Amino acid sequence: MPEEIFVVPEDAHPERADKLIVRHFPEVSRAAVQKAIERGKARRSDGKALQSKQKLFPGDVLVMDLSPDPVPSLRPVELPLDVLHEDEHLIAINKSSGMVVHPGEGTGEDTLVHALLHHCGEHLSSVGAPLRPGIVHRLDKETSGVIVVAKTDLAHHSLASQFAERETGKEYLALVVGVPREKSGSITLPVGRHPTVRVKMAVTEKGKSAHTDWAVDEVFGTSSALLRCRIHTGRTHQIRVHLTCLGHPVVGDETYGYKPARHDGPPAARAFLHAEKLSFSHPVSGDCLLLEAPLAQDFSHYLGVLREQFSGNAIA
pLDDT tens digit string along 201-216?
999 999 999 999 999 9
Residues 120-136 have a mean pLDDT of 93
Options 69, 140, 287, 298, the catalytic residue: 140
Q: Where in the chain is the domain with CATH 3.10.290.10?
A: 4-64
DSSP symbols for 203-238: E-TTSB---EEEEEEEEETTTEEEEEEEESS--TTH
Mean of all residue pLDDT scores within the chain: 94
What is the structure's pLDDT at 176?
98
The CATH label, of 1.10.287.110, 3.30.1460.30, 3.30.2350.10, 3.10.129.10, for the domain at 72-165 is 3.30.2350.10
Q: Look at strands 224-231 and 191-193 and give their pairing.
A: unpaired
The class of domain 168-316 in CATH terms is alpha beta
- Residues in Cβ contact with 177 at an 8 Å cutoff, skipping those fewer than 6 apart: 223, 224, 248, 249, 250, 251, 257, 258, 262, 263
Q: Which long-range contacts (CB under 8 A, 24 or more apart) does 80-85 make?
A: 80/115, 81/115, 81/116, 81/119, 82/293, 83/119, 84/146, 84/291, 84/292, 84/293, 85/289, 85/291
**Is 140 annotated as catalytic?**
yes
Q: Which CATH architecture describes the domain 4-64?
A: Roll (3.10)
Give the number of residues written for the chain. Answer: 316
Q: Where in the chain is the domain with CATH 3.30.2350.10?
A: 72-165, 168-316
With CA atoms as reference, report the closest residue to 242 among 298, 172, 145, 290. Answer: 172
Q: What's the whole-model pTM score?
A: 0.80
Maximum Cα interatomic distance, the chain, rounded to a whole number of Å: 71
Please determine, for residue 295, whether its predicted confidence score (pLDDT) is greater than 60: yes
Please determine, for residue 316, whether its predicted confidence score (pLDDT) is greater than 70: no
Residues 258-272 have a mean pLDDT of 94
